[in-house]
Amino acid sequence: MHRSARLAAIVLAAATAFGNPAAGADLTAGDRAEIEALREGDMRKLVIHDEAKDPLEVEILSPRGAPMRFSDFEGPVVLVNMWATWCPPCLKEMPSLDRLAAALKDEGVDVVTVNVERGGREKAAEWLDRMNLFELGAYADESMRLGRATGVLGLPTTLILDAEGRELARLQGDAEWDTEEAKTLLRRLAAMLSAEG
């Protein structure tokens, strides 16, 4: 193989292995300022990071029990809510997350509720079914690695990730997720990240 062809092959292999840096571009200062200005109501608790964190490599269980990563989701925005069936504030906000998932499912926002307790997939499936919350899947982190990897100290906690699984923002505590303020903010963020990708 010619030297320049070998070099091109190495560069292509590296790009494939490490992804396209432009696809995970950080929000600009202007983007962050615009999102900050949209923080109304419960969204005032949302903390937007100056820079995206490293991609989350923790695997969770899908509703069918298969391992998956956050980069497996399709939307440019992945809203990850960590909850447990023993957590009253978690249960309080779940109906609003279900309504948010229904409202934004075709608008580039994936709503992923991850039960972080032992036996979480089964417990989540039973509780969601009993409460008629059919837009949310019974995702689970039965290994308890997600909370450690993200430094979460309490439940509920919601992370907003980009398509590569990098944390852009975080909201500690419960919120009403289906308000117009929340939907407007998430739609705008999805539009920004779609334009960057």
| Distance in angstroms (rounded) separating the CA atoms of residues 102 and 136 | 9
Domain boundaries, the chain: 25-196
Burial class from Cβ neighbours inside 10 Å (0-12, 13-18, 19+) for residue 192 reads buried
CA 122 centroid distance within chain:
21
Encoded tokens for 87: 């957590």
Residues 25-196: name the CATH superfamily: Glutaredoxin (3.40.30.10)
Task: Look up the pTM and report it.
Answer: 0.86
pLDDT tens figures, 8-49:
333 333 333 333 333 445 799 999 999 999 999 999 999 999
Can you give the C-alpha Rg of the chain in angstroms? 18
CB-side exposure of 93: number of CA atoms within 13 Å? 24
Q: Considering the chain, what is the average pLDDT of its residues? A: 89
Residues in the chain: 197
